[in-house]
């Protein structure tokens, strides 16, 4: 999924939420892997969550808590005639909106494909369960719905853990917490209210209770961003750099989601649960040595000025990974010989 954006940081909360809601299907493919050490019940719930995204239409209000900062968003997801449509609208802050339309429900993303049995070797058949430990925890109630909690613990220091609550009836993701190795909760996303509907949500149609784009503009929505797939040739409107480049170190289990790479100024990687992107920009003048860091809940934005074979560049890593992971990824960037 690619987003046309003017300001990466200002859209982070919407993109984080969209990622949580739309990559549930990716995580659930682990239920197909015959891994003896994995909690079978937990993986079965994740599989049910995957099916819910392909079968259930819903709308509701979601809160995103990061420390003392609270953001509120309206979310709609519809499934109709083999395609899905998503719309996220900020009810606080800048009032930005992200939309994704006409997405085939049978579309297989790279993170999903890497977890299928046919994509694994005979020696490695546990998929994402080799990277995380899954377990069913005590039940709770979210947005008036009975929920089953799934505890997700990383097996190494390069990724965060999660606590997720799934609707007991539909398997829909109702709540997700991002948790550090020290058991600190970095952010909490959860539905405040939720209703299921079979009414398709079309662009410009407020039949399901979602304001049309024109109505939103009248209420000071700053900008609408369309989330879409890259073209068949891998183009995504990302800027280009002077030479082909590569990321030479990744935590175990991460794989590229990009169709093509070359001189494209962005790389995106996933382990099936966590996603991060690496951006490279040519600089006309060399930056002062040092690094920049912004942490917003579970999202890390790490920047560093480097010289690669005499060329000054700016490397930026953005995603739900610890700072040390982002730093090590940035340090491994080099030109392709």
Contacts of 49 (CB under 8 A, 6+ apart): 24, 25, 27, 28, 166, 171, 172, 173
Which of 262, 267, 278 is CA-nearest to residue 315?
278
- List the single range of 82-96, 133-147, 173-187, 203-217 with lowest mean pLDDT: 203-217
pLDDT at 23 over 90: no
CA atoms of 20 and 60, how far apart (whole Å): 15
Numbered ranges of CATH 2.50.20.10 in the chain: 2-228
pLDDT band at 190 (very low <50, low <70, confident <90, very high): very high
CA atoms of 247 and 306, how far apart (whole Å): 14
**What CATH number should be reported for the domain whose range is 2-228?**
2.50.20.10
State the average pLDDT for the chain.
77
pLDDT at 192 over 50: yes
Q: Is 70 helix (H, G, I), strand (E, B) or coil?
A: strand
Task: Average the pLDDT over 217-232 and give the result.
Answer: 51
pLDDT band at 33 (very low <50, low <70, confident <90, very high): very low
Beta-bridged to residue 281, according to DSSP, are 314
Which pLDDT value is given to residue 65?
95
Output 94 or 211, whichever has higher pLDDT: 94
CA atoms of 86 and 219, how far apart (whole Å): 20
- In this prediction the pTM is 0.76
Contacts of 183 (CB under 8 A, 6+ apart): none
Which pLDDT value is given to residue 216?
41
The distance in angstroms from the start CA to the end CA of the chain is 29
- The label of the residue with tokens 């649960």 reads 273
CA atoms of 335 and 247, how far apart (whole Å): 9
Which pLDDT value is given to residue 309?
86
Which of 93, 100, 96, 317 is CA-nearest to residue 228?
100
Using CA atoms of 179, 182, 183, 184 in order, give the dihedral in degrees to the nearest 10: -70
pLDDT at 116 over 90: no
Numbered ranges of CATH 3.30.200.100 in the chain: 245-335
Considering the segment(s) 245-335 as one domain, its CATH architecture is 2-Layer Sandwich (3.30)
Rg from Cα positions in the chain: 20
Which pLDDT value is given to residue 124?
53
- Identify whether the C-beta of residue 223 lies closer than 8 Å to the C-beta of residue 3: no
- Identify whether the C-beta of residue 67 lies closer than 8 Å to the C-beta of residue 160: no
Ramachandran angles phi, psi of 60, nearest 5°? 180, 180
- Identify whether the C-beta of residue 291 lies closer than 8 Å to the C-beta of residue 304: yes
Output 212 or 278, whichever has higher pLDDT: 278
pLDDT at 150 over 90: yes
pLDDT band at 225 (very low <50, low <70, confident <90, very high): low
Task: Average the pLDDT over 280-298 and give the result.
Answer: 87
CA atoms of 337 and 332, how far apart (whole Å): 14
């Amino acid at each position: 999924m690619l987003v046309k954006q003017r300001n990466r940081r200002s859209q982070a909360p919407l993109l984080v939420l969209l990622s949580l809601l739309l990559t549930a299907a990716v995580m659930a493919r682990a239920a197909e892997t015959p891994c003896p050490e994995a909690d079978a019940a937990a993986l079965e719930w994740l599989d049910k969550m995957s099916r819910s995204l392909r079968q259930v239409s819903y709308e509701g209000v979601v809160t995103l808590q990061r420390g003392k900062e609270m953001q509120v968003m309206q979310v709609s997801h519809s499934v109709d005639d083999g395609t899905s449509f998503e719309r996220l609208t900020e009810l606080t802050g800048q009032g930005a909106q992200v939309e994704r339309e006409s997405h085939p429900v049978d579309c297989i993303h790279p993170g999903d494909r890497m977890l299928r049995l046919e994509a694994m070797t005979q020696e490695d058949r546990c998929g994402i369960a080799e990277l995380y430990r899954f377990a069913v925890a005590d039940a709770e109630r979210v947005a008036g719905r009975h929920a089953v909690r799934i505890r997700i613990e990383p097996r190494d220091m390069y990724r965060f853990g999660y606590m997720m609550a799934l609707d007991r009836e539909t398997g829909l993701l109702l709540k997700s917490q991002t948790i550090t190795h020290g058991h600190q909760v970095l952010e909490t996303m959860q539905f405040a209210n939720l209703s299921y509907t079979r009414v398709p949500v079309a662009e410009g149609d407020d039949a399901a209770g979602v304001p049309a784009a024109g109505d939103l503009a009248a209420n000071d929505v700053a900008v609408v961003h369309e989330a879409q797939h890259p073209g068949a040739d891998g183009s995504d409107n990302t800027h280009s750099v002077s030479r082909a480049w590569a990321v030479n170190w990744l935590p175990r289990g991460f794989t590229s989601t990009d169709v093509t790479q070359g001189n494209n100024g962005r790389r995106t990687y996933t382990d099936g649960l966590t996603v991060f992107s690496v951006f490279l920009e040519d600089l006309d003048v060399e930056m002062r040595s040092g690094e920049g860091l912004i942490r917003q809940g579970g999202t890390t934005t790490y920047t560093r000025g480097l010289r690669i074979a005499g060329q000054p560049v700016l490397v930026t890593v953005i995603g739900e990974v610890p700072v040390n992971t982002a730093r090590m990824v940035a340090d491994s960037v080099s030109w392709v010989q």
